[in-house]
Amino acid sequence: MVSFKMNKRYYSRAMVNKILLHIFFVFLGGHLIFLAPAYSRDYDYINVTNPFLKKTPVAVTDFKPFNGNAQEINIGKTAKAILKEALDFTGYLKIMNPVAFLSNPAESGIQLGEINFRDWTAIGADLLITGGIIETDGKITLKLRLFDTFNAKLLVGKIYTGPESQVRQMIHFFCSEISYQLTGKWGIFNSKIAFVSTVNGNKEIFSCDFDGRNIKQVTRHKSISLSPSWSSDGQWLAYVSYAKGKPDIFIKNIEEKRGSIINYKGMNISPDWMPGQQKLAAALSFSGDQEIYLLSIKGEIIKRVTNSWGIDVSPKFSPDGKKIVFTSKRAGTPQIYIKDLESKNAQRITFKGKNNTSPAWSPDGRKIVYVGIEENNIDIFVMDINSGMPVQLTMNAGDNEDPSWSPDGSMLTFTSTREAGVSRIFVMNASGSDPRRLLRLAGKQTQPDWSK
């Protein structure tokens, strides 16, 4: 367990989040039961952005069918597959091959006291996950546990109940618990990715789950729709569309049929939501110059944020909502700047290269990811704000654009033409490792935006 260190600083926040999550489950119509013993947090998080991170091996065992009927066995298999796929997606866990397993908790028992941890340490499993499934009157109950094998300790124990259709969601909630236990962050498992696709001919906005599944078409403008942006509660999408003949910002509630359009004269583009607020930053050109404004959800101008002749575009808020990072051509070439919303001065942060655009602030507030173009090579770079040192994350693999952070900062989604020269959506770890295609759709996919 070399990657885990002692730390207790997440105690109180963890408890608060537990309670919040409990309330959440009540809403879902499910039940949440805390299993004994009341867990204590003895582990520091896995530093998910460490580029030298070694993947932690985890053994995921067969789910125990409590009544032993065929339905339990089948749903158990499906649930286990969803669990393995989700954990594998994180990029910091290595799912072990079950051929090596020395015991079978589905038969010998899935609780603490029934598990022989030496069977698991012997094969190098740092973590063990057991599962049980009970089916009663069409309702599924999942009993899920995460163990630290070296310390023979239960780290997470959860019981979820709901209809079969919610199994995927239940597994993802459990994954969030695992993530929180191991990394101090709730992770990506309940997040969504919005993107632009030409699968039906025109550029329309789509959304999918964090793993590229559950693809849904959001817009049907039959026009050009671009630049989706999630509000921090995931309830709203802002995007740009030519549906009314020119680039305007559309604001759409995901659940309900309401929204608004921001359509000042000229262009209305690159919306980004202020964290925790129903306010947006966007670039408008009604003045004849492309400047960044702070807007209400209805499109009223709260204030003008930038004030320099030349292009100012692509604002993205800092996680605390006090600053924006944006692209400006004020010095002759497009470069990345940071500006406090309250102060007048903007600070330039990129000095290498003649074309740096499309910035995004990391969820921990420390880094900026952006796109740099050199000699027709379009690649993604990340910069630690304090050190100012850019690190190139993509190289020699087509054009790479539109980087967006996962909510826990462990991953990035982006657009790449590395496969057959066609724009497609990829994910990679924040260090640039493990790039992989997110989803398979016909046409071109661009501009992914990962929900907060």
Partner 1 sequence: MKKRVWVNLVMAILVAGLFLTASCAKKTIVSDATTIEDQEKAKLEADAKAAAEAAAKAKADQITQQKLEDEIAREKAQKAARILAAKQLFENQDIHFEYDSSDLSEIAKAGLKEKAAWLKNNVSSMITIEGHCDERGTTEYNLALGDRRANTAKNYLVNLGVSASRLNTISYGEEKPLDSAMTEAAYKINRRAHFVIN
Interface with partner 1 (CB under 8 A) = 203, 224, 226-227, 240, 245-247, 266-267, 269-270, 283, 285, 288, 290, 311-314, 327, 333-334, 354-355, 357-358, 371, 373, 376, 378, 401-402, 421, 446-447
Choose between 76 and 359: whose C-beta lies nearer to partner 1.
Answer: 359
Choose between 110 and 238: whose C-beta lies nearer to partner 1.
Answer: 238
Q: How many Å apart are CA 187 and CA 176, to the nearest integer?
A: 6
**Cβ 324 to partner 1, closest distance in Å?**
14
Q: How many Å apart are CA 119 and CA 150, to the nearest integer?
A: 11
Choose between 201 and 421: whose C-beta lies nearer to partner 1.
Answer: 421
Choose between 113 and 421: whose C-beta lies nearer to partner 1.
Answer: 421
The residue written with tokens 């630690």 in the block is 384
Phi, psi (rounded to 5 degrees) for 78: -60, -45
Choose between 30 and 315: whose C-beta lies nearer to partner 1.
Answer: 315
**Cβ 329 to partner 1, closest distance in Å?**
8
**Residues 299, 312: contact at Cβ < 8 Å?**
no
Phi, psi (rounded to 5 degrees) for 94: -110, 115
The residue written with tokens 């994350």 in the block is 393
Please classify residue 29 by burial: count the beta carbons closer than 10 Å to its beta carbon, then call 0-12 exposed, 13-18 middle and 19+ buried. exposed
Choose between 83 and 194: whose C-beta lies nearer to partner 1.
Answer: 194
**Cβ 333 to partner 1, closest distance in Å?**
7
Choose between 187 and 398: whose C-beta lies nearer to partner 1.
Answer: 398
**Residues 416, 404: contact at Cβ < 8 Å?**
no
Q: How many Å apart are CA 367 and CA 412, to the nearest integer?
A: 12
**Cβ 266 to partner 1, closest distance in Å?**
6
CB atoms within 10 A of CB 333: 12
**Cβ 269 to partner 1, closest distance in Å?**
5
**Cβ 285 to partner 1, closest distance in Å?**
5
**Cβ 154 to partner 1, closest distance in Å?**
47
**Cβ 199 to partner 1, closest distance in Å?**
17
**Cβ 362 to partner 1, closest distance in Å?**
18
**Residues 243, 251: contact at Cβ < 8 Å?**
no
Helix (H) or strand (E) holding 415: strand 411-416
DSSP letter at 100 equals G
CB atoms within 10 A of CB 109: 16
Q: CA angle 308-310-313, nearest 5°?
A: 90
List, in sequence order, every beta strand (DSSP E) within 320-362.
Answer: 323-328, 335-340, 346-348, 356-361
Choose between 68 and 288: whose C-beta lies nearer to partner 1.
Answer: 288
Q: How many Å apart are CA 335 and CA 63, to the nearest integer?
A: 53
Choose between 172 and 203: whose C-beta lies nearer to partner 1.
Answer: 203
